[in-house]
Structure 1
Amino acid sequence: MLSDKQLQQFKEKLVTMKKETEAELEDYHNDEAKETYQNDETGELSSVQDHPANSGTDQFERAKEQTFYEQARERMMDIEDALKKIEEGTYGKSEKSGKEIPLERLEAMPTARYTVEEQEEMEKE
């Protein structure tokens, strides 16, 4: 069982992670607003594509940014869930079995929901 001091340390770490993730999401939204005009990023004066590869590169970059955004959103949900668990007194317990999640795992991944064994078992299914 985690001590009050350990819980406070994890809460502080999660709050820091939340602020960093919020900044990432805000950066994405600011960049998204700029992409309204496709040629702003390339510096081109005309909206006419001069090479088909440019279009492919732009699509790839947008897809990559969207992936990063989705990952940040998922990370934010995990962080908020972990903070809620701290408030409810269930932080550090597996959602599957109720067993204590080892301290080492929580230190490596403060948003962990399961023990390593349970996570591996679920990934095999």
Structure 2
Amino acid sequence: MSKHLSKEDLEHFKQRLQMMKERNQNRVDDTEGPNESVGELADYDNHPGDIGTEQFEQQRDAGLELMRQDQLQEIEDALKRIEDGTYGYSQISGKPIPFERLEAQPTAKKLVEEE
């Protein structure tokens, strides 16, 4: 494969990805532990409204956690592609991914038309 990204470009994307990873990891760390956002809403236990609210909160938090974990994996994968020299090339066609696309989405692994 020909080099379409310079060493400086690769270093720029590596730094961006590492910052994204750190930000994302901090969000994961901040949300660990039991959900304490739902307090007692009634004077007695097991009020149906409380249970529904708690279930909603738990499901929402679980969904957000899965999204964060997926994003972290995409960032890790992109950093590995930088290390192995395949970053910036489509995993489908092998064609170079435009700089502008990588700038907008540093974890991109294929061309827009391949989505």
TM-score for both structures, normalised by structure 1: 0.82
| Structure 2: runs of 5 or more not aligned | none
TM-score for both structures, normalised by structure 2: 0.89
Partner of 2:76: 80
Following superposition, which runs of at least 4 residues in structure 1 exceed 2 angstroms of deviation? Answer: 43-47
| Structure 1: runs of 5 or more not aligned | 120-125
Tell me how large the CA RMSD over aligned residues is: 1.9
How much does 1:43 deviate?
4.6
1:5 to 8, 13, 20: 8
Of Structure 1 and Structure 2, the greater helix share is in 1
Residue deviations 1:12-61 (CA, integer Å, cap 9, x gap): 000000001111111121xxx234xx7x8405797712x31221111111
Equivalent pairs: percent with the same residue?
40
1:27 aligns with 2:30: yes
The count of corresponding residues between Structure 1 and Structure 2 is 112
Residue deviations 1:48-77 (CA, integer Å, cap 9, x gap): 12x312211111111111111000000000
Matches within 5 A, 1:89-100: 89-100=85-96
Q: What is the distance in 2 between the residues matched to 1:58 and 1:10?
A: 40
How much does 1:114 deviate?
0.4
Please state whether the residue corresponding to 1:34 is helix, strand or coil: coil
1:18 to 21, 26, 30: 21
